[in-house]
Structure 1
Amino acid sequence: MSKALLYLSILCFYLGGENCFAQQIVRGFVVDSSTQKPIEGAAVFFDKTTYGTITNKNGFFVLKSREQTKSPLIIRYLGYQPEKIIDPPQQKNVKFLLKKKEEGLEAVWINTKHQKKEKPKKLSDENEKYEALSLFKYFFLGTRFHIYDTKILNEDALDYYITEDKLQIIISAKEPLVIENEYLDYKITYFLEGFVLYRKMSEIVSKPVTDYYEYHGTALFKDLQKPGRIRKKFRRRRNEMYYGSRLHFMRALANNELENHGFKTFNIEADSINIQTITKEDFTEVLPPKESLVIHKIDMIHIKRTKNQDTIKHYIKSAASSIHAKRNFGIDKMGNFFPWNALIFEGRFGREGMARALPLDFNPYPN
């Protein structure tokens, strides 16, 4: 063993063992694809984590993360098309090219089989815009759990569109959304790539009602108050949000430890099932049923009070999270699942939103 490797091994031992070797280091230059000139101030980060940096005057950056992740590397700069790199090269300088955006781009919305071919109309009526904003915040920030402590600081960055049949509301953003979550002490920079609210005509009232929604984007988390010095109450709150959350479930599923982490899975009839997984080299492939229910022990307290199977099944259906799977998907050890549109969540998981969001590199604090 060389001296350098020996010293590194000793250092790793004192810093916590294997995490030292699991570290990711990506470095390189961000330049304009046409002029080859460096871009200063470009945001470079691993999606939905706290790992982020900006480029210097030479367009250079070094980005480090403590864990290996399948979360893509995101590079963004105002006026340029964002770059998403799934498996960025490590430990060597790489040139990343950014292309300037075309002028006059219309709203971006999520492509689905229900999408109309004609362009949606931009809302101009203030009452309609207010209604669209209220719906957006209700689903994007979350429908419960301290939503009023979570604020979008630049709501004026949002544009609102509606299709001719009024069954789709599409929302895009002209700039990154800045979100402050005072309850969890996070500042989130969210790059919204598309939000669509799908509606259907109500059988009770003569107006559209929400059917389901989808949104997609990339995010960078930072501590709101004092980075690196988290107060005890925020540690407690973050832990409370984590246990039983979608992130907690995904990590447990990736490690085939659902039961050890207090999760149980059921089919749509509330009969117990196991979700099949295949362990790969750096992620877990999941072969899910089309519909499944997930419940955590936190939500199963009342089940112990009855032995009636019909009552138990009714409780599971009402308290569980519902997962609708469109296809197989993968999960890495951090709980990052991909592709993003493989699943639709309802119930507890579907209500989480930005008000309950935790970064992918979050680890529960010791008691």
Structure 2
Amino acid sequence: MFPIRSKRLNKFPPFIICIWFFLLMFNNYSYGQNEIRGKVFSLQDSIPLFGASVYFDGTNIGVSTDDDGSFKIPFTQNNSSLIVSAIGYESVVIDTQNEISVRTIHVLYLQEKTESLDAVHLETDPWSRTKKLGIFRREFIGKNKASLACKIINEDALRLRYIPSSKVLVANSTEPLIIKNKHLGYKINYTLTDFEVKFENSTMGLTLPYYTYYQGYSYFEELRNRVSKRTKKNRENSFLGSTLHFMRSLYKKTLDEDGYKVFYDSFQVPTYRYFKTTHQESLMEIEVLTDEIDILYNDFEQSGLLFEKKFYIDAYGNHTPANALNISGEMSKKRISNLMPVNYKIYENE
């Protein structure tokens, strides 16, 4: 038995992105092994920004700024970017793997978003918003049991356009998407930076999606103070067999123990034959010695991995760059409705 490839591909959000805007001054700064402090101001008038969000991408570790724009956030070495955002302002994205970037987080200036006119399109969009929104929900949220209990609260913030000549649906958002996931017990704040779905015509003349790509930054909050046993079980099921689980197992070199089998050209091969691993401080560099392998999880869930370049993994299971590989099969079906914080089960009390 070996994995059967699906045509659907999906890339996941990146975890390391360059600083977009401004890191200035050398006052009001404090950095310790377990905490980062700083202040957030408006670039235009230097007014402190109250209630700005400061969080590690893909985690449930986040805080809001005080009246004077100050914040302090727990810090452990990981591969998640630190995101600083506020409504009406461009976000700042800080690479926490860069020691200089981390040590210069003291005073941050956010630039106000400028309202721009919609681009002039030479092609008429033939699809209704209802149709495009339905496709967006299926490709972004997913279409499984978990997706039935997952809802985007502020869909009005979405801007969607279908381009007939290239058969591509693109989307962006004027503000972070607020996603309420009752299945996993999370509220997710998701800043969508890129989204596209590519289509092709089937033999029956239908226009069907075959490739989905999206990226963004996410912050998780608990929906309830107490997590039920059912929700904990749902979280465990979403985590097991996911890209995050696979990457964390690859980092720890526990793929066999965690239920993964590796196939090449339809035949099972020694698990690490095509993975060349090199530790670099807190990261593991992964060089894959072939373009494509197949994965079987728990003798049932089949996925395909198509590699474009070497990538890096940290102990959390963060992998970067996101475009280093394409994912098909069961792993790719776990969309936002199955998305777990990258620090899930890192601590023993979780």
Tell whether 2:57 aligns with 1:56: no
Aligned residue number for residue 261 of structure 1:
258
1:257–1:119 Cα change, 3 Å: farther
- Comparing both structures, which one devotes a greater share of its residues to helix? 1
1:218–1:120 Cα change, 3 Å: farther
The letter for the 1-side match of 2:264 is N
Q: 2:276 & 2:316 partners in 1: Cα distance?
A: 19
**Superimposed CA distance per residue, residues 9-68 of structure 1 (whole angstroms, 9 cap, x where no aligned partner):** xxxxxxxxxxxxx96422101112233221111111000100011111111101114x42
Aligned residue number for residue 133 of structure 2:
133
Equivalent pair of 2:241/2:331 in contact (CA under 8 Å): no
Equivalent pair of 2:132/2:162 in contact (CA under 8 Å): no
SS of structure 2 residue aligned to 1:191: strand
What TM-score do the two structures reach when normalised by structure 2? 0.82
The letter for the 1-side match of 2:82 is L
Unaligned runs of 5+ in 2: 1-31
How big is the shift at 1:231? Answer: 2.1
Report the more deviating stretch, 236-245 or 50-59: 236-245
The letter for the 1-side match of 2:93 is K
Aligned residue number for residue 37 of structure 2:
27
Equivalent pair of 2:196/2:214 in contact (CA under 8 Å): yes
Q: 1:235 & 1:164 partners in 2: Cα distance?
A: 43
Aligned residue number for residue 337 of structure 1:
319
How big is the shift at 1:196? Answer: 0.3
Equivalent pair of 1:122/1:161 in contact (CA under 8 Å): no
SS of structure 2 residue aligned to 1:165: coil
- Comparing both structures, which one devotes a greater share of its residues to strand? 2
Equivalent pair of 2:261/2:296 in contact (CA under 8 Å): yes
How big is the shift at 1:91? Answer: 7.6
Q: 1:131 & 1:159 partners in 2: Cα distance?
A: 13
Aligned residue number for residue 80 of structure 1:
89
Q: 2:118 & 2:267 partners in 1: Cα distance?
A: 44
1:134–1:49 Cα change, 3 Å: same
Equivalent pair of 1:141/1:355 in contact (CA under 8 Å): yes
SS of structure 2 residue aligned to 1:271: strand
Report the more deviating stretch, 158-167 or 249-258: 158-167
The letter for the 2-side match of 1:57 is D
Equivalent pair of 2:62/2:219 in contact (CA under 8 Å): yes
Tell whether 2:334 aligns with 1:352: yes
Equivalent pair of 1:270/1:293 in contact (CA under 8 Å): no
Tell whether 2:337 aligns with 1:328: no
Task: Select which of 33, 47, 50 maps to 1:40.
Answer: 50
Alpha-carbon RMSD across the aligned residues, in angstroms, is 2.5
Tell whether 2:186 aligns with 1:186: yes
The letter for the 1-side match of 2:88 is G
Equivalent pair of 1:122/1:160 in contact (CA under 8 Å): no
Aligned residue number for residue 295 of structure 2:
294
How big is the shift at 1:178? Answer: 0.9
SS of structure 2 residue aligned to 1:355: helix
Equivalent pair of 1:28/1:92 in contact (CA under 8 Å): no
Equivalent pair of 2:238/2:334 in contact (CA under 8 Å): no
Tell whether 2:212 aligns with 1:248: no
Equivalent pair of 1:79/1:100 in contact (CA under 8 Å): yes
**Superimposed CA distance per residue, residues 221-266 of structure 1 (whole angstroms, 9 cap, x where no aligned partner):** 011111xx32222222212222222211110111222112221122
Equivalent pair of 1:195/1:216 in contact (CA under 8 Å): yes
Aligned residue number for residue 144 of structure 2:
144
The letter for the 1-side match of 2:148 is Y
Q: 1:346 & 1:120 partners in 2: Cα distance?
A: 33
What TM-score do the two structures reach when normalised by structure 1? 0.78
**Superimposed CA distance per residue, residues 180-225 of structure 1 (whole angstroms, 9 cap, x where no aligned partner):** 11111111111111110011233x1334321201001100001111
Unaligned runs of 5+ in 1: 1-21, 108-117, 301-318
1:24–1:141 Cα change, 3 Å: farther
Bigger RCO (CA 8 Å, 6+ sep): 2
Equivalent pair of 2:186/2:220 in contact (CA under 8 Å): yes
The letter for the 1-side match of 2:314 is D
Aligned residue number for residue 236 of structure 1:
233
Q: 1:102 & 1:31 partners in 2: Cα distance?
A: 17
SS of structure 1 residue aligned to 2:261: strand
Aligned residue number for residue 224 of structure 2:
225
Aligned residue number for residue 104 of structure 1:
116
1:240–1:209 Cα change, 3 Å: closer
Q: 1:136 & 1:220 partners in 2: Cα distance?
A: 20
Equivalent pair of 1:121/1:164 in contact (CA under 8 Å): yes
Q: 1:120 & 1:199 partners in 2: Cα distance?
A: 20
SS of structure 2 residue aligned to 1:261: coil
Aligned residue number for residue 198 of structure 2:
198
Report the more deviating stretch, 43-52 or 278-287: 278-287
Equivalent pair of 1:245/1:349 in contact (CA under 8 Å): yes
The letter for the 1-side match of 2:211 is Y
Aligned residue number for residue 363 of structure 1:
345
Q: 2:316 & 2:111 partners in 1: Cα distance?
A: 31
